[in-house]
Structure 1
Amino acid sequence: MKYKCVIFDCDGVLVDTEDISIGTFVDMGNKLGASIDFEYAMVHFLGKSLEYCFDYIQERCSEPFPLDFEKQYREKSFEKFKNVLQAIEGVKELISKLDVPFCVASNGPLNKMQLNLKIVGLDAVFADRMFSAYDINKFKPDPALFIHAAKKLGFKPEDCVVIEDSDVGVKAAVSGGFDVFGFANFRNETLLKKEGAKLFYKMNELSDLLEKQ
């Protein structure tokens, strides 16, 4: 493998959070009259900042948007994570095969990353190599988070490969000078390809792809 470092996104790449997170947005928004379609949200909310999602919901609510909406969302989604969250199939095996440094870089807050990775048994694997956009106040599609993560591990963008599942994440990686592989499915494959990702559909495929680089 030509890469010296692997940078993983968290949600949807390491842990299967997206249905839970976006489903919670949709349920809460629709109770306020937002009428958001779940399938639409799974495409258009994927990888977006919390602020973007909340603004979208708030504009469509027919009832007043509660000031503690974010607090309610965190409580509801975190409780669901604790009960049903799973690691992405094959990702533990993939990580066990890596013989180069790796880390995780997410638009989500650090405490969310730590909780979710602990639930699925990956917290010790990543240890102090978890990087949050909240720490530098710059969010994907800005490439700053990936550049920050690479620098902390002692690498340049051209030394690294990013693993993403959202178009904003791919855009951030490409604009930062990183190669990027997109974890694709029927919802996101067109957007990932459009932004310049090399697509794969299962984690065991990625292991083979990385070895061939």
Structure 2
Amino acid sequence: MSKYKCIIFDCDGVLVDSEPIGNQVLVDIANELGANITLDYALRNFKGNSFDNCANQISKLVGKAVPDDIEAIYRKRSYQKFKEEIQPIQGIKGVLDGLDIPFCVASSGPESKIKLNLEATGLIQYFTDKIFSCYTIGRWKPDPSVFIWAAKTMGYQPKECLVIEDSIIGVEAALNGGFDVFGFTAHDYQDELPKKATKTFSEMLILPELLQFKH
């Protein structure tokens, strides 16, 4: 059996393969403003950050304030792309089907985005009434508040929960809250996660083995 009583999944890059899609939209918007950046740059610098942090980075790149409605523009464009292109992370459905302990999702994205992406990938059924968004509480990773809120709502202490994250900011948030955290490294572009995560893994299908569940 696993020593953990509850699993808290990040959404983007852990449940759904949204990072390349969302970051490409952000690159397009940034470049329209004169940033001249690539998707690789975005994945290295924007991944895991709050939207405000990304907007501030773009502002510095272009040397001027970004439009007041930049997030609204981003949400509209990215939601359409997600509907057309998003896929679940390979193997995640099998993992969720096999879990015999409670689990939930805690993400930096708005709840509307989380629900849209889970619906588009056929995962929403696993997370009914178990969605926790940083936007709801106004606190963003690496602040651990969203994980602490999720754990408390699910009925567990941080030490009883395991967080699954794919960004260094998310890993730091979990550690800041007193959680163990497994880093999913399939898109760890700067090889950052092994330095801080409790454990790392590169294929979702091996997560049950790491948890040492008996089925």
Report TM bin, short chain: over 0.9
C-alpha offsets along residues 35-82 of structure 1, whole Å, 9 cap, x if unaligned? Answer: 123212102211100000011112222676322211111111000000
**Correspondence list, 1:1-213, <5 A:** 1-61=2-62, 65-185=66-186, 187-188=188-189, 190-211=191-212
Which deviates more from structure 2 when the two are superposed, residues 146-155 or residues 54-63? 54-63
Once residues 18 and 131 of structure 1 are traced to their aligned partners in structure 2, the CA distance between those partners, rounded to angstroms, is 19
C-alpha offsets along residues 101-153 of structure 1, whole Å, 9 cap, x if unaligned? Answer: 00000011101101110111111210000000111111110111101100000
Per-residue deviation at 1:20?
A: 0.7
Q: Any conservation in 2 of the 1:32–1:63 contact (CA below 8 Å)?
A: no
Distance 1:15 1:48, change over 3 A: same
What runs of 5+ residues in structure 2 fail to find an aligned partner? Answer: none
What runs of 5+ residues in structure 1 fail to find an aligned partner? Answer: none
Q: Please, what is the CA RMSD of the aligned residues?
A: 1.6
Per-residue deviation at 1:25?
A: 0.7
The percentage of counterpart residues that share the same residue type is 48
Which deviates more from structure 2 when the two are superposed, residues 73-82 or residues 36-45? 36-45
Question: How many residues end up aligned between the 2 structures?
Answer: 213
Per-residue deviation at 1:188?
A: 3.7
SS for the counterpart of 2:75 is helix
SS for the counterpart of 1:36 is coil
Per-residue deviation at 1:185?
A: 3.0
- The TM-score with structure 1 as length reference comes to 0.95
Once residues 133 and 187 of structure 2 are traced to their aligned partners in structure 1, the CA distance between those partners, rounded to angstroms, is 28
- Provide runs of 4+ in structure 1 moved above 4 Å: none
Distance 1:50 1:186, change over 3 A: closer
Which deviates more from structure 2 when the two are superposed, residues 165-174 or residues 179-188? 179-188
SS for the counterpart of 2:16 is coil
Which deviates more from structure 2 when the two are superposed, residues 120-129 or residues 59-68? 59-68
AA aligned opposite 2:173:
A
Which deviates more from structure 2 when the two are superposed, residues 30-39 or residues 141-150? 30-39
